Structure 1
Amino acid sequence: MKKTFLFLSIAALVMASCSSDDDSPKTEVPSVGDVLQPTVGGPNQPNQVFVDLSTGSSESVNRASWDLGFSSGSDFRVAINGSLKMAVKKLETTDITLPQTADTDVAVGGGTTLASNGYVDNPTGVLAGNGSGIGTAIAEVSATDSQNKVYLVNLGFAVSTVVPSVGSVSTDGDARGWKKVRILRNGNGYKIQYADLASQTFQEKTITKNADYNFTFFSLTSGNTVAVEPVKTKWDLNFTTFTNYLNMGGGEVTYGYSDFIVTNMKGGTKAYQVLNADGVTYENFTLANVVETNFTVSATDQRIIGSNWRSGGGPSSLPSIRTDRFYVIKDVAGNYYKIKFLAMTNDAGVRGFPTFEYKLLQ
């Protein structure tokens, strides 16, 4: 009997040990690197592509699938879809049932709209600000309903289907029209009221914050929340079209960019640029070369890579990658990578087919 009891006790301990091993959290082993080709989708660039360097994986979403992003942070901020050149203007009323008319000045434009008009989100990705081009174009949603005004919303442009000449892009399709929206708080979430401009009635939906994501995204077309970004700890780079600020000599203006790359600043990804002229090349750059303080700017600006990785071309030249630079990325898990861009076109010279190489620094 004692031998039987001893055998059963040992067996139980072995089973418990196995169960404990199975239930223990798995440590993610980061990818040592790869060559990736994000599926931007060609010269119309229909997709936003989110890349996770630690797994070498990517997820893509049609950039016209969403209109507004509701921040999951402690603030109550709402972003607009700059990849479609959306723009908004605050009205002086809180009554969304009042008919409104379109205002063609409320637009990204082609370098003629001053950033200080505050029609678009600040391109750094910093949500906080008092307007006039600082922070989100939609003011922070107040806990006092009477302070939350109606906004005139230019929905920007659909994804183009025009096939451009080789080396060019065609990103802007037909104008998507206009809406009016009013956003309120709903506990720790949001309530959105929206309608066509002439309508005297409106639709209303509630939006719940999800701390696993940077934003909860909403489509004014479908009236539903939609999946866009992956979990905020599961992506580092976003390949997208983008509304940026540009200084043409007369102050900053709003301007649409293609072939743009933003880092997941809100999720904790950081980056900096290294020029070969600094005395180090991609090939011989090691973990020992990383300068931690160089990441500082990227904590408050998602555009470190931006359009800096490529040249846009001109009347006598096609767009091309810049081979005199590479980038250092630090992901939210503390992994360090170096990345360099190999191509922005396919073998036929058609734009919207980026290729890059990256390696884990260890």
Structure 2
Amino acid sequence: MREPRASKGFFAKPFSARPQVGAAITIGPMSMRLKIYTDPAFASPANPMQCAMLLPFFGREERAFWSADTNAFDSYKKSGLGYFELAGSMDEADVVVLPGTWHRYLQDGTTNVALRFAQKAAEAGKQIVVFHERDYDFKFPAANALLFTPTVEKDRQPNEFGLPAWVPDHTNGPAPLRQKQQRPSIGFCGQVKRPTAKTRLKQFARTSLPYLSDIRMSGHSASLRENFQHKFLRAQAVQTLLDHPGVDTHFVLHGDFFAGADQKSTADEKTVARQSALETFLSNLADSDYSLCVRGIGNYSLRFYEIMAAGRPPLFLDTNCVLPYDFLIDWQKELVWVPQAEHQRAGQILADHHAGLSAEQFVDQQRRAREIWEDWLSPDGFFRNFYRHFRAP
């Protein structure tokens, strides 16, 4: 396993600004295997599916359509037993794991089951690992919880950590390496919402009227104010790059999610449409030096993980995002980072970054993107390093 490399933007220790968790657990360099305890009886009774972490031990996982029936978890299923060991009781475990994902309990209206299990862990003096894999920033209301989530809209808590989107390795390896040209090319293939009078009115209501700023599910709320604040950010970013004279743009813009595949009448038609949209996306990645990465409904980008897997450096428009292992990885140095206050300068930031690279550095940043995905963001890489969240400072 490759260790973090300080010369490439990695820190040897967690950021001092991030409070550390798991103080009762001491795991040294020679002890990377966590002893975990779970109980499938505390999965959601309506849909008793397990979180991805438990795949090596249980076979009924919940998948989104972008990872269902793909190779996303193939490697982790084989190697996961080397990263975790099932403990026979809570007392024997380093940490407890909620068997289902938090959004599953929320959607099923069975949050009381999850909270009972968290309480049992607390009574045993254990922390409980909770995974939440959907767009909205729903907190887990238990003091002993460690919440792993792809999206945090605001008020990040010390017990909240970044979680990758579980994307497959679509091409079983990175896209072919590109050689440096004088001008950078940037691709984007996806949904872009253009503002209309109706959508502007909805945006105003969600961001300015307090009683419309919350979405509620099973008694736990997550703010929509920030979601709608960034509703048209992709369209703005696309226009900013189109307007920049020093950047070549390769944009394939759709008005609907997944190029409207979900609007097809039959399951077979949806499958064909999704495959066609995926092929267009992958072709766009292969034909571009960089790829635009902007948040969607949630404060994260599924596309970011696909871009990294393909070995393409993302032009990353930050919106106060929480990325995995940000206590070890200096993401601002690893990506072509556009700070939130400088979104209108995205084209110039990209042009300056590209101009500052040698031909060798240009190629190396492609290899580096793929390497980071393999080592830290793929299911296998993420869980291989999972013990680091509990490592004593």
Per the normalisation by structure 1, the TM-score is 0.24
- Decide which structure has the larger Cα Rg and report it: 1
Q: Which has the higher helix share?
A: 2
TM-score (norm 2): 0.22
